Amino acid sequence: MTAPQPPQQPAYAQAPQPGQPGTPPQQWTGAAAPFVYVSPIPVRRANLADALKSEWTKIRSVRSTLWTLGVTIVLILGIGLLAAGVVSSAENDLGAESSPLTLGFFGVLLSIICVITLGVLTISSEFGTGLIRTTLTACPDRARVLTAKVVVFFLLSFVITLISTTLVAMSDSALLADRWSGEITGAEYFKATVGVSLFVAFLGLIALAVGALLRHSAGAITTMLGVVLLPLVAAMFMFTDSLEGVRKALFEYSVPNLLATFYETGATQASSGPTGWEPLWIVVAAAGVTLGGAYASLLNRDA
């Protein structure tokens, strides 16, 4: 979508001359300014597509993206395949109630850390370096900047997770075809790939929003790790009976448990807590709230 090329000349090799074709007429604005400079480069109104292109260039041109997404793929594929390898060499067959798809769970759980890190860095690194000022000078429409970041990061993390989880789901079910008697339904397959990837990508969006709110990489990553891990840890230490309800809720709505819900089959479904696609709606709602805060913060605070 490159703008039509002007007759290329070094743009300020010469000042606009009166009477020269293609140059604008002089504008007299007083003794100090014989004319106001008008660029020979054609002017086109910038839009969201330009911001998306810019953000895509930004995210692909730093190594932290390569590292975090690379590790994401390695974790999902590596641990997923390793688990399948262990199970296939074990003596006992996989129980009828757990499908080969569930073996992908641990890899995805660990890879969440990478996606969270990338989500935070997508915006907080700009605040850390001061680049955000340059970015906002180039695009004063702050909502457009954040939207572009959200879209680019979301699509990238979703696609990477989707490819990895699909590969794991396919190879695990192929590897364990003769060790497992059950049947994987299309819905289960869909949840363990697309569902999981959407869940991870929206979790990454929460991280991006927290990064925009805190404007500090380490602080935002730590906060997100706390969000992922603390409920589970806290639940473990609640021994009192009076706290039983809280303990149960913390456990059931902790991120690892929400993720595990995507791997549930009819046989393993928990009696209470979120089921089916509910974890996705929970994380979508949470992402909506935090992103709302991020928009408000970016629009109103000094950069």
Partner 1 sequence: MIELQGLTKRYGDKLAVDGLTCTVRPGIVTGFLGPNGAGKSTTMRMMLDLDNPTAGTVLIDGKHYRQLRDPLRAVGALLDAKAMHGGRSAYNHLLCLAQSNGIPGSRVREVLDTVGLTSVAKKRSKGFSLGMGQRLGIAGALLGDPRILMFDEPVNGLDPEGIHWIRNLMKNLAAQGRTVFVSSHLMSEMALTADHLVVIGQGRLLADTSMAEFIAQNSRSYVRLRSPDHERLLDALAAAGVAPVTTADGTLEVDGTDAARLGELAARHGIVLHELSPQQASLEEAFMGLTAESVEYHAHSSPGEAPAAGQGGPGDPPPGAGWGAGRREKGS
Q: Which residues bind partner 1 (CB under 8 A)?
A: 1-3, 5, 8, 10-12, 15-16, 29-30, 32-41, 43-47, 50-51, 53-55, 57-58, 61-64, 125-126, 129-131, 133-141, 300, 302-303
Sort residue 107 into left (φ over 0), alpha (ψ -120 to 50) or beta.
alpha
Residue type (1 letter), 42: P
Considering beta carbons, is residue 16 or 274 the nearer one to partner 1? 16
Contact status, residue 96 vs residue 266, Cβ threshold 8 Å = no
Six token digits for residue 59: 């995210």
Considering beta carbons, is residue 44 or 278 the nearer one to partner 1? 44
Chain Cα centroid distance, residue 23: 46
Cα–Cα distance for residue pair 114/248, rounded to 1 Å = 28
CA distances 152 to 143, 156, 166, 169, Å, are 14, 6, 21, 25
Considering beta carbons, is residue 144 or 179 the nearer one to partner 1? 144
Minimal distance, residue 256 CB to partner 1, in Å: 31
Neighbours of 108 (CB within 10 A): 28
Cα–Cα distance for residue pair 269/123, rounded to 1 Å = 38
Minimal distance, residue 145 CB to partner 1, in Å: 8
Chain Cα centroid distance, residue 220: 14
Considering beta carbons, is residue 80 or 211 the nearer one to partner 1? 211
Minimal distance, residue 143 CB to partner 1, in Å: 11
Tell me 195's DSSP state.
Answer: I
Place of tokens 């569902």: 195
Minimal distance, residue 22 CB to partner 1, in Å: 14
Instruction: Report which secondary-structure segment, H or E, holds 203.
Output: helix 196-214
Considering beta carbons, is residue 125 or 171 the nearer one to partner 1? 125
Considering beta carbons, is residue 86 or 138 the nearer one to partner 1? 138
Considering beta carbons, is residue 1 or 271 the nearer one to partner 1? 1
Cα–Cα distance for residue pair 102/119, rounded to 1 Å = 26
Minimal distance, residue 87 CB to partner 1, in Å: 40
Cα–Cα distance for residue pair 87/96, rounded to 1 Å = 13
SS3 1: coil
Minimal distance, residue 138 CB to partner 1, in Å: 5
Minimal distance, residue 207 CB to partner 1, in Å: 18
